[in-house]
Structures are given as C-alpha cells and as structure tokens.
Amino acid sequence: MDKIVALCKRRGFIFPGSEIYGGLAGTWDYGPLGVLLKRNIKEEWWKSMVGFRDDVVGIDAAIMMNPVTWQKSGHVDAFTDPLVECKTCHQRFRADKEDEIKAHEKTHKGKTQWTPPKKFNLLVKAYLGIVEGKQSEIYLRGEITQGAFVNFENVVSSTRVKIPFGIAQIGKAFRNEITPGNFTYRSREFEQMELEFFIKPDDKEGDKWFEYWKVRRMDWYISLGMDAKNLRFRKHEESERAHYAKYAEDIEYNAPFGWSEFEGIHHRGDWDLSRHSLSYVDENGEKFTPWTIEASGGVDRSALFFLLNAYAEDNGRVFLKLHPKLAPYKTAVFPLLANKPELVNKAKGIYDSLKPHFMTAWDARGNIGKRYFAQDEAGTPFCITVDFQTMEDDTVTVRDRDSAKQERIKIDKLKDYILSKIS
C-alpha cells in the first residue's frame, strides 16, 4: 500500500487534497495520470452499461437536490453510521469497524473507555441562497442514485424505454465519513458509477436480474485485468443492509487492508419509487411500482484496486501492468539521443502522427533507461524509440511494458499495430 501511495504521488496519479494548506481529510486530487486512468474506467463502464445496450439510457443529474428528496428516500432518518468516541482523547470512530476500534484501544494499552454508540448521519449539509440568514439548508447528494429515481417519469416519457430498462449515471457523491482512510478507499468526496435497473415487481424477475447484474459486473472487472482470485462476492447480513435494500451482495477486492467492498449489487425492491410516489403503466394499461436492481460501483475504489492489481516488481523494475484500455498513455515516443536533431525530428513526426489516435507521451529527458523506468511506473504499455537504424530503414523499436522485450516495426505500420494491441 505504501508503495502505491508513493508511486501515485511521484508519477502524478493522486495527490492529497489541498495539500499546500495541510490537506483536507478525506479528499484527494487526481493528477495528470490519475485523471486519465479515471476517465478510462468511466469510459469503459459507460460503453458496457449504456453504449453497447439498448435497454439502458444515461442521465447526469444535479448534485444539489431539493432536500425533500432525502427525506423521502429515507436518508435523513436512516443514512447513519454508529459513532463512538474515545473518552480519553475524544477521537471518533465507527463502532462497527472492529479492527479500527481494536487498533485505537492498543494506543491506550487496552484501557480505552468508549461513549455509547450514537447514530451519526452521513449526509453533508450545504447552504444555498444569497440573503444572509435566509439561506436554505440542503444536502450534497449522499448517493447519485436519487437523481435516477426523481427523473424516472421524465425518462419514461421522453424515451422509448420499456420495463425492463435501466438508468445509468456517473458522478460525485459526498459523505461525512467518521473515519476516512486507507488512501482514497474511504473518502468524503468520491465518484460513483451506477445502474438502476427497473423490473416488474416479481420474485422470479428479481432473482433473475440480480444474478444477471452480479455476473455482468464481476466479469467487467475481470475483462479489464483484475485478477479473479483477488475478487469475491459477499452477501450482506440482514443487520448490515442499507435501509433501502431488500437483499445485497458486494464485490470485494483482496486489498492490503483486507477484503474490501468496491461495488454493491442491491435489490432495492420498490423502496425508492414508492417513497417518491412514482409508478409505471405498461403496454396493457397495468399500473404498478417497479422494483429496482442496482449495481453501484465506486470509481475511486475501482481506480485504487486497478492500481494495486497492476503493481508489479521484477528484478528491481517497477511497472504497472494496467490493461491497455485503462492505461493513461498508450504509447510514449522517444528519440534515442536528445542531442541528435535528425533523431528528434523523426521522433517528433511519429509523435504528431500517433497523438490524434490515442494518448501518446513524449519524453526526451535523461537516458533511455530512465525514460523506460518512468513509463513503466506510469503503466504505458508500449514505448517507441527512434534510433540510428530508423534513419536507414524507417523502422522503430517497440518495447512491451510487461515483458520488456523489443521488436522492430515499420513506421507506416505503427498506428495499426498499437491500435490492434489496445482495443
């Protein structure tokens, strides 16, 4: 974990939020490489959930919503974690996180006294309005989900969707987490990628779609390179289920800090639509309240686990074996020597010709070994070097990140060669 945190800072994946002012707990800023990784994750998710399907449409709802939304959805009353406070040092913890409680007790040599658990609401408040004293209190959305429910009727009436169908969305959510931690894993501002899939209120349909989305979502992570043996499903006990969930299973990753949830498949039944007094009329004129099967993934947690999954060391060489679809840069182009104008010009020409097709980096600093080292840590799958042979036969070396092997490719075949490897 320490190695990944250091690499993320060193290479520009992830920085602590507002670091020059001492940071802000539970916030993180994505740097030049991190933003590309995140965009690629979101792009792949969107393609698989919306682009390739004809039964799912996307929306992008507002972060600030009428606060009645959160009363109806049950979040004002029930979106809580049990909070306990150490009577000695007044630090606050989640009572249900046994390992964190135990770790704190050790710091007081087992003599910690705790306050009784009280319910702590996770919704983040904000104030809207321009007249002092007359501002209205609102909540920043605690899950992006409610935007899909409040737009249910708008989507049905403005598109051709018919049940079963889904509404997909990606966006920021905010939670006043009691103990943010484990790098980006538990943040106070984070991004979710969610599908709300509406079905007939019928047990068989519920089971069928729940199973369908479970498998689809697990397969998606594996198709992008996550090692299946580090993934598992975990059923929620009744006591840990969110207030809206009839039934829930998590997808967990075997992280350095233990098996950890990064996507939840939830059977929300008719909880939300009925709380918002929304219903659906089918083609036979039958009116009912659909059930919702939800697949709710975290973009930040996925990014963290894709990074952890990709981290590799080989004889002192560190590289990120990110799936090419997720890698921030697909290629990097170098002149073998930066002080030979003919090599630099030739390499620049290749760089300019590849750039419109996929993210291509340029590097002419230091020696070639250092450049490979930097691109390995950035997870760039292919490095292209222009050398003296290039000037004779129009070939370049293409070095594979994972094997570190090189082959010579004709310049006019380069674009198609790289495209065939990254798509």
Name the site residues for ligand GAP (rule: CB under 6 A).
Answer: 143, 145, 175, 177, 186-187, 190, 192, 194, 261-264, 294, 296-298, 300-301
CB of 217 to ligand GAP, least distance (A): 11
Question: What are the angstrom distances between the C-alpha of 45 and each of 192, 337, 339?
Answer: 11, 40, 43
Shortest Cβ 201–ligand GAP spacing (Å) = 20
How far is the C-alpha of 324 from the C-alpha of 289, rounded, in Å? 43
Judged by CB, which is closer to ligand GAP: 180, or 324? 180
- Residues 6 or more apart in contact with residue 7 via CB below 8 angstroms: 13, 311, 318, 320, 377
Of the two residues 141 and 371, which places its CB atom closer to ligand GAP in the complex?
141
Q: Least Å distance between CB 151 and ligand GAP?
A: 15
Report CA-CA distances (Å) from 312 to 133, 220, 369, 401. Answer: 55, 22, 18, 11
- The rounded distance, in Å, linking the Cα atoms of 349 and 363 is 14
Residue nearest to ligand GAP (CB): 298
Report how far residue 318's alpha carbon sits from residue 376's, in angstroms, rounded to the nearest whole number: 7
Residues 6+ apart with CB under 8 A from 103: none
Determine the Cα–Cα distance for residues 78 and 61; give it in Å rounded to an integer. 23
Tell me the closest approach of the beta carbon of residue 396 to ligand GAP, in angstroms.
41
Dist. CA 13–CA 288, nearest whole Å? 47
CA distance 64 to 141: 6
Closest approach of Cβ 41 to ligand GAP, in Å?
Answer: 12
> Residue 179 or residue 353: which is nearer to ligand GAP going by CB?
179
**Which is nearer to ligand GAP, 302 or 375 (by Cβ)?**
302
Q: How large is the angle between the packed helices 32-46 and 299-310, nearest 10 degrees?
A: 110
Q: Which C-beta is closer to ligand GAP: that of 294 or that of 376?
A: 294
Radius of gyration of the chain (CA): 25
Q: Based on CB atoms, which residue is closest to ligand GAP, 11 or 301?
A: 301
Q: With residue 69 as reference, give the H or E element that holds it.
A: helix 68-72
> Whole-number minimum distance, CB 364 to ligand GAP, in Å?
38
Residue closer to ligand GAP by CB (options 195, 386) is 195
- From the CB of 262, what's the least distance to ligand GAP, in Å? 4
Asked whether the beta carbons of 70 and 78 are under 8 A apart, the reply is: no
**Contact indicator for 233, 218 with CB cutoff of 8 Å:** yes
Q: In the complex, what is the shortest distance from the CB of residue 187 to ligand GAP, in angstroms, rounded to a whole number?
A: 4
DSSP calls for 219-272: HHHHHTT--GGGEEEEEPPGGGS-TT-SEEEEEEEEETTEEEEEEEEEEEETHH
Q: How far is CA 89 from the centre of its chain?
A: 34
Structure tokens at 351: 């760089």
What is the C-alpha to C-alpha distance for residues 379 and 306, in angstroms, rounded to an integer? 11
**CA–CA separation, 303 and 13 (whole Å):** 10
The nearest distance, CB 193 to ligand GAP, in angstroms, is 9
Identify which of residues 194 and 377 has a Cβ nearer to ligand GAP in the complex: 194
| Least spacing, CB of residue 36 vs ligand GAP, in Å | 20
Q: Which is nearer to ligand GAP, 43 or 261 (CB)?
A: 261
Nearer CB in complex with ligand GAP: 268/330: 268
